[in-house]
Every structure is written in structure tokens, then in C-alpha cells.
Chains A and B, each alone.
Chain A
Amino acid sequence: MSGLGKIQRDFREFILGHGYEDFMQHIKSTDLPKEESLDVYHHNIFSVHHRSLVNDYPLVFSIIDDTTARRMVRAYVEVSLPCTGSLEDWGGGFISFIQRYELASQWPYLTEMAQFEWAKHIAYCAKEKPLLNPEDMRKLVDSSQKEISFHFQPSCQLMAFLHPLEQIIQTHQNEPKKPLSDLKGTSYALILKHQGHINVYWVSASLFVFINRLKEGQDIEVAFAAAQVLEPEFDAQEAFSFLLQHPILCREGDETCV
């Protein structure tokens, strides 16, 4: 191993929490305490990664206390250093980490909160395509094609949660002292990007199922039947209005918005 390679590997081991003495041996003794010098790099590395995760998961980090946050970031960095040059690619693995991390279990909804926030990040990074307008929709429905294909914005994601995330978020923001673990129930979100902004729509279970079936490429009748199982009075017209009122559907093709 080259001298440079050994120094760099010894530094990495020091950052990961072992090999402190090995790396110390490389440092020239001067008036500067070696520990203080190493602290600068240690602090920089963990701060950068902490900021990246806070950027991706602002709600998660606003819910957990600072000590847990620092421990979680440190533990996550130690097991999962980034392997690309862009931190934008790195944070997705944090979700399964939270699921396994014992200290996070005091917030049972935390994993789903992280899934929700990462979905918003994915939407932020996705393309935007020209919207399907009512005229386009009319042509689509009136066409002689037996099967109608709906094209969803690339950023569009549908998510089902075992916890009432919308209620948890609102309570956390408006009544920060209220225990969030007492809140029960499921929730359903449609997340997408429009004109550079991330929009979140909290929908009913039946609307979620209806839209999800269309998104999966199933035809209108199948989607309607599935929604009716959850809500016998499900109104398909209202559901289509929802799809048209919001920037969810796009035209077929590769064109993207500038």
C-alpha cells in the first residue's frame, strides 16, 4: 500500500470511530494540539452529513431531540458513507436505518415520516411534463380506444401510511407539546412537483386506490370497482375532477417543461 493510501485509509478509520492512534502517528508534532486539529475535520465531516440529512428530512429532525439526532447521524455515517460525489443521492438509505435504530422506536411513526419526506425529495428531483388540460382529457375519454392510458407526472407519488401523518404534522407544528404517539389512524398522500414547488394532497383511502390503479395502468372500470370496495358511494366524476383540477396528469411524450 502506498504511503498516501495508508494515510488516507487510516484517516477514514479514525472518522469511523477506530484507528485514532494509527492516524495520530502521521501528524507532525507542533504547537497545535493534535486532538484539536483532528476535531476540526471530524466536526466538518459530521456537520456536512448532518446538514444533508436535515435538508432531506426536516420534519424528522424537528421531531427528535438534538442528542438523538447527533447520535443517529453519527451512527448512520459510520455504516453508510456516501458512494457518489453528490449528497443528493445519499439520504435514501436513512429510512431503513431509522427502522432498525433502537432509539428511534420511541417515535413509532418516524419511519413513515422519513418515507414521506424522501418522497418529496424524489419529487423535487423529477422531471416536469406539460399538463393534460380539460380539452386533452375530453379527447382522451371520447377517443375510440377501448383502453385509456393516463400519464402521470414523473414526480407523482402515491403513498399509504399506517399512521395519521397529516394530523401528526399539523399537531407537531401547532401544538408542539402534545404527545404525537397518541394519534391513531391511516393516511394517504399524493405528492408531486408543479412549477418547481412540491405539492402534497391528503386524500381518502378510496381516492388513493382509484388513482393508484390508474397509475398502475389499469383501466377505469377496474379502478372504480376497487374504490367502491372501500366506499360504495365513490363518485368517479368527482375523482376525475380532482385529477384535472390538480397538476397530476401530463401529456404523452418526452417533452418536458422548461
Chain B
Amino acid sequence: MSFTGLSPRQASAGVGLRRPHYTDFLNEKQPIAWLEVHAENFLNFDTPAFKILERLRQDYPVSFHAVNLSLGSSDGIDEEHVKRVKALIERINPFFVSDHLSWGRIDGYYLNDLLPIPYTHEALTLFASNLSRIQDLLERPLLIENPSSYLQFQVSEMSEAEFLGALVHRAGAGVLLDINNIYVSCSNHGWDAQQYLKAIPAGKVKEMHLSGHVLQGKLRIDDHGSQVCPEVWDLYQKAINIFGPVPTLIEWDSNVPSLTTLLDEASKAQTILDSVRVPSNTTRKERHVRFG
């Protein structure tokens, strides 16, 4: 299983497709290279929302960002839910499918949040097993997104970046690097963002996310409810310099602004992507470090 042929040919900026913007997209072709949707919002093919997605897929490449595959659940995977996601993949043919370094289901019940896992060898084995099984069922590799983190576990045996790197290597998956989440988590826990980036295996990063966050007391909270802040843009530039240009999404899910505002944010990301020259073949080989 590989990512060959799955991504858009040129690294480009995309936006999340959100209900307030359906009419904008249906009325006119918008200047954006691709769209991302939450897969779980489109599992029923008879809803008007699905019809809209199917219609827009004719004009835009689409990426799926799942939230309930619950890859880190000690329950194992929910095969019924995976089947529904697979049926959606077969209808829409997204170029990427991603979910999170988290869990959300236990004893058959869903909590509907991206919940933290301890970074232990036990968790790594279980997560890799769940991920491999899901990739087999979906017949494609997944991207795993680093989470926004608000607590750490006593029992953790490695860093989050080390865990993520080991996981994608073991399961043959890729990384969706959420730059805002790195900033939020590092700020909350006193981690070094540069060291975090260096610990992610180069060559595994296939997509990036950018979004806003809010400061609440001592915590930065990833609320996807505002513009990307300057510090996150800086970190994004550093990440692109390390990993090369990859499809980059502007995530804005709450206090959703006008499409114009969203597209403006995307154009900032596109400017950064365009500024990084595609390295020559020799340079690319030097930059791709084998993990493990």
C-alpha cells in the first residue's frame, strides 16, 4: 500500500467544506485547489448534504478527515463504522483519508472527542494493530494527525513525536502534521516545537493543517475558531522547509467566517508553498531521511 498517485500533483492549499459555504461553491467555481470534509458527516447517501458533496467532487479534489475511526481504542476497531466510511470512499474517491492520534470509543460507546492516549509501548502496539486493520479494510494507507494536547500521562514511555513516528513506520501510514496543534501542545507542555518537527520522519508527512486557537487561563485550546496566528505561520514555514511543500488545509470549524476570509487564509499558505522551490532529484534524496 502506498501514497503514490493519491495526492494532488502540486502541493496546494485547500479549505474545509462547511455548510455556510455550500451555496458559494454551488453557484461559482472558487479559486481553491481542493476541499476537505469530515467523513462522518456524509455517511448517508440520501441526504442533501451528500448530494452537494457529490456534485462538488466533480469540480474539486476532496480529502477525507475522519474523526471516529477511534484508532487508539482498546476495544479494537468498529468494523461496521469502517464499512460505512469505505462505502463513502468508493463513492467520492478522496485523495487522502486521515484520522487522529487519539481514541474516542470504549465498550462500544462513542464519546465523540479526540481523546489523549498514553505514549506507551502497549498503546503503540494496539494502535498500530488497529491502524493496519483499518488500512487493510479501506485498501489504502491513512494519514495520522498529531493531536492538540492538554494533559500528559504518568505512564508515557516516549514523546508524542516519537510515538507518531514509530506508529506510521510500523503501520506504513503517513503523517498529517497539524502545525497549530504542535504549537498548542508545545505551549501547554513546555515542549520544543523545533525538536518536535525534527522527530517526525521526513518523507512521511503528506499533508498539513493550519488553524486558529484561543488562550484560556494557562491553556491554549485548539478551537479552529479564528485566523492562524503569526507564530503558527512561522512554524509552518519551518515545517515546509524541513518536509517540503505538501497539500495544506486551512481548518476553520467554529465562528465560521465568510468564504472570502477563508480563501484569503488559504492564499497565505499557498504563497508559502510557492516560495519553497521544488528541490532537484539529488537534493530530494538527501532530504529524505530513512526512519528507523
B256 to chain A, nearest CB (A): 13
User: A127 to B150, Cβ gap below 8 A?
Assistant: no
User: A85 to B40, Cβ gap below 8 A?
Assistant: yes
User: B154 to A28, Cβ gap below 8 A?
Assistant: yes
- The residues of B that contact A32 with a CB separation of less than 8 Å are 150-151, 188-189, 218-219
A185 and B68 CA atoms in complex are apart in Å by 44
Q: Which A30-51 residues have C-beta < 8 A from chain B?
A: 30-34, 36-38, 40-41, 44-45, 48-49
Residue of B nearest to A43 (CB): B221
Q: Which of A33, A37, A41, A86 contacts B113 (CB 8 A)?
A: A41
B1 is an interface residue with CB less than 8 A from chain A: no
Q: Which of A27, A33, A41, A81 contacts B109 (CB 8 A)?
A: A81
B102 to chain A, nearest CB (A): 11
User: A4 to B118, Cβ gap below 8 A?
Assistant: yes
A31 and B219 CA atoms in complex are apart in Å by 10
A50 and B94 CA atoms in complex are apart in Å by 30
A11 is an interface residue with CB less than 8 A from chain B: yes
User: A48 to B113, Cβ gap below 8 A?
Assistant: yes
B127 to chain A, nearest CB (A): 9
A245 and B72 CA atoms in complex are apart in Å by 53
A30 and B78 CA atoms in complex are apart in Å by 34
| Given A40-B219, A83-B108: A7 touches B48 (CB 8 Å cut-off) | no
User: A9 to B155, Cβ gap below 8 A?
Assistant: no
Q: What number of A residues sit within 8 Å (CB to CB) of B?
A: 47
B251 to chain A, nearest CB (A): 15
Of the candidates B43, B105, B150, the one having the most CB atoms from chain A within 10 angstroms of its own CB is B150
User: A4 to B46, Cβ gap below 8 A?
Assistant: no
Per-position 1/0 for B64-102, Cβ under 8 A of A: 000011101110001011001000000000000000000
Of the candidates A4, A32, A33, A197, the one having the most CB atoms from chain B within 10 angstroms of its own CB is A4
B231 to chain A, nearest CB (A): 19
Residue of B nearest to A196 (CB): B48
B242 is an interface residue with CB less than 8 A from chain A: no
| Given A3-B120, A30-B189, A37-B150: A85 touches B219 (CB 8 Å cut-off) | no
User: B111 to A81, Cβ gap below 8 A?
Assistant: yes
- The residues of A that contact B48 with a CB separation of less than 8 Å are 124, 193, 196-197
| Given A32-B218, A32-B219: A12 touches B107 (CB 8 Å cut-off) | yes
A37 and B216 CA atoms in complex are apart in Å by 11
B217 is an interface residue with CB less than 8 A from chain A: yes
A26 is an interface residue with CB less than 8 A from chain B: yes
B112 is an interface residue with CB less than 8 A from chain A: yes
User: A128 to B46, Cβ gap below 8 A?
Assistant: yes
Per-position 1/0 for A232-246, Cβ under 8 A of B: 000000000000000
User: A9 to B106, Cβ gap below 8 A?
Assistant: yes
Q: Which B116-134 residues have C-beta < 8 A from chain A?
A: 116-118, 120, 122-123, 126
A-B contacts, 5 of them at CB < 8 A, read A4-B117, A34-B151, A81-B110, A85-B81, A196-B48
Given contacts A4-B126, A48-B113, A86-B84, 15 further A-B contacts (CB under 8 A): A2-B74, A4-B117, A8-B73, A9-B107, A11-B111, A28-B156, A36-B217, A40-B150, A45-B112, A83-B108, A83-B110, A84-B81, A87-B40, A197-B48, A258-B51
